[in-house]
Amino acid sequence: MEVLRFVVALGIFLFGAYFTGKLRGVPLREAFARGAAQAPGALSPAAALSSALCGTLGVGTVLAAISALAEGGPGVLLPLLVGTLTGCALKYAEIFVTMRHRQSGLAGPLAALQERAPCLARAYALLLLPVALLGMGNLAQVQVLSEALARGAHLPRLAVGFGVLAVLLPLVRGGIGRIGRAASLCLPAAGALYVGACALALWRLRPALPGALLSIFQGALPFRPELFALGIARGLFLCEAGMGTSAFAHGQSRAEARVQGALGACEVLFSTFLCVLTALLVLATGVPLSGSAVEVALSAFRAAMGPAGGALLCGMLAFFALSTLPVWWFYGLQCARFLRSGRLAEALYTAAFLAVAFLGCLFPLTAVWRFADGFNLLLALPCLAMLFLYRREVVRGGPAKKRK
C-alpha cells in the first residue's frame, strides 16, 4: 500500500508540475474571460462550480489535514500544499479535456477515455462505483457525520440515518439540476461562515501561531519520501485533482472548456484554503492528535471557541457531508449508466446508495478511511492515463493569448 501510494503520488505531482509549466502557471485569469463561446449544459458555470465544490469539500476538507497531522506530524502540511498547488493545473487539464470530449449522456473522464482507450473507460467506471458507494463519496461521509453528531450533539445514530435520507431523497429525485441550484444557494453562505469562524479563532490564538508555523517547517526537514507520499495522497483526497471526479459536475456547465477548467483550479485553491485554516487551528490549540479525527477536531474547536465551537463544527460537518452525498450519487450514476444502461440499473444503484448511506450511520467502521485512500489512488491511474493521451490538446488549447 505504501509503495502504491508513493508511486501514484509521484505520478500526480509530476503531471501537475508538467501542466503547471506548460500552461505558464495556474490559468486562473481564464475564469474571468468574457465573450467565450457557450457550450450545451444543464448548469450555469457558478452552479457547476458549486456542485463540484460540494463533492470535493465533504468532511475530508476538515479531517484530511487532521488525519495527516496525526500520521505524519506538522511537517506533512508542506507536501500537502505542494501537491494541491500543482493540482490546480491538473484540475484545469482534466476538466478541459473532459468538456471538450463530452457526449450526449456521457460526461467526465468516461467520454474522453471511451474515444482513445475504451478499456480504461470501463476500468475507471468500475473503480469509481465502489468509491461512490463505499468510499469517500458515501460511507466515509456518513461515518464522520454520525460520529460527530453522536459525540457533539448527542443525537441517536438512527435519527441521523433518517435525517440523511430526508435530505437525499428530494435531491436525488430532482437530479443534477436541483443539486446544482441547492449547491449554488447554500455553499457560499456555509463557506463564508466556516472561514469567518476559523479566522476569529485564529485571531484569538495569534500568540501561538508563530510556534505552529515553525513546527510545520521543522517537521518537513530533512526530506523523507514517506512523508512526501503521505502529504500528496492527503492532498489528492482533499481536492480530488488527478481523479477526474469533479469533471462530471463541471461537465454540466454551459461555459467554454477553458473557462470552466479555470474555475476548477479555483475549486482546488478554496478547498486547500479551508484545509490550511483547519490545520493551523488544530496546531495552535495544541490539542493531542490521538484518537479519531472527529475527536481531535471537536477538541480543537472547543478549545478555541468554547462550547459554541463544538456546535459550529457539528453543523459544518453535517453540511459538508450532506452536500457531498448527492453530488457523489450523481458521479456514480454516470458510471452505472455507462456500464449498464437502463432504468433498472439506475434504480438499483440509487437504492444501494441510499441503503449504504442509511446503514453507514448506524454501524461504525474503523477501516473505511484506509479503504477510501486505496481506491482514491487506484482511481487516479486511468485519469492520469487520460491526461497523458490528451496532453498536447491541453497545451494547445491552454490559456488564450492576450489580444493586442
User: At 404, is the pLDDT very low, low, confident or very high (cuts 50, 70, 90)?
Assistant: very low
**pLDDT for position 94:** 92
DSSP one-letter code for 401 = P
**pLDDT for position 203:** 92
pLDDT digits (tens, 9 = 90+) for 311-350: 888 888 888 888 899 999 999 999 998 988 778 888 999 9
- Residues 6 or more apart whose Cβ sits within 8 Å of residue 261: 27, 30, 91, 92, 93, 95, 96, 99, 250
Is it the case that residue 352 has pLDDT exceeding 80?
A: yes
Model-level pTM? 0.89
pLDDT digits (tens, 9 = 90+) for 202-217: 999 999 999 999 999 9
Mean pLDDT over all residues of the chain?
Answer: 85
Is it the case that residue 385 has pLDDT exceeding 80?
A: yes
User: At 401, is the pLDDT very low, low, confident or very high (cuts 50, 70, 90)?
Assistant: very low
**pLDDT for position 174:** 87
CA distance 54 to 323: 5
CA distance 19 to 242: 12
Is it the case that residue 378 has pLDDT exceeding 60?
A: yes
User: At 71, is the pLDDT very low, low, confident or very high (cuts 50, 70, 90)?
Assistant: confident
**pLDDT for position 353:** 95
Per DSSP, the three-state class of 377 is: helix
Of 232-246, 260-274, 286-300, which range is least confident? 232-246
Is it the case that residue 399 has pLDDT exceeding 70?
A: no
Cα–Cα distances in angstroms (integers) from residue 10 to residues 91, 230, 373, 376, 378, in the given order: 16, 11, 15, 14, 13
**pLDDT for position 36:** 53
- Residues 6 or more apart whose Cβ sits within 8 Å of residue 72: 219, 226, 227, 230, 231
Please report which residue ranges of 221-367 form alpha helices under DSSP H: 225-239, 247-250, 257-285, 293-305, 307-339, 343-362
Q: What is the mean pLDDT of residues 109-127?
A: 92
Amino acid, single-letter form, for residue 61 = T
**pLDDT for position 7:** 78
Sign of CA dihedral 107, 113, 114, 119: negative
**pLDDT for position 187:** 86
Q: Copy the grid coordinates of residue 338.
A: 455507462
Is it the case that residue 153 has pLDDT exceeding 60?
A: yes
pLDDT digits (tens, 9 = 90+) for 247-290: 999 988 888 888 888 888 888 888 888 888 999 999 999 898 88
**pLDDT for position 403:** 36
**pLDDT for position 334:** 92
**pLDDT for position 366:** 65
Is it the case that residue 23 has pLDDT exceeding 60?
A: yes
**pLDDT for position 166:** 93
Calculate what percentage of the chain has a pLDDT beyond 90: 25
Q: What is the mean pLDDT of residues 238-254?
A: 87
Q: Cβ distance 145 to 160 under 8 Å?
A: yes
User: At 2, is the pLDDT very low, low, confident or very high (cuts 50, 70, 90)?
Assistant: low
Angle at the Cα of 165 from the Cα atoms of 236 and 278, rounded to 5 degrees? 35
**pLDDT for position 400:** 45
**pLDDT for position 388:** 92
User: At 35, is the pLDDT very low, low, confident or very high (cuts 50, 70, 90)?
Assistant: very low
Q: What is the mean pLDDT of residues 227-235?
A: 78
CA distance 305 to 198: 9
Is it the case that residue 4 has pLDDT exceeding 80?
A: no
**pLDDT for position 39:** 62
Is it the case that residue 377 has pLDDT exceeding 80?
A: no
Q: Cβ distance 2 to 226 under 8 Å?
A: yes
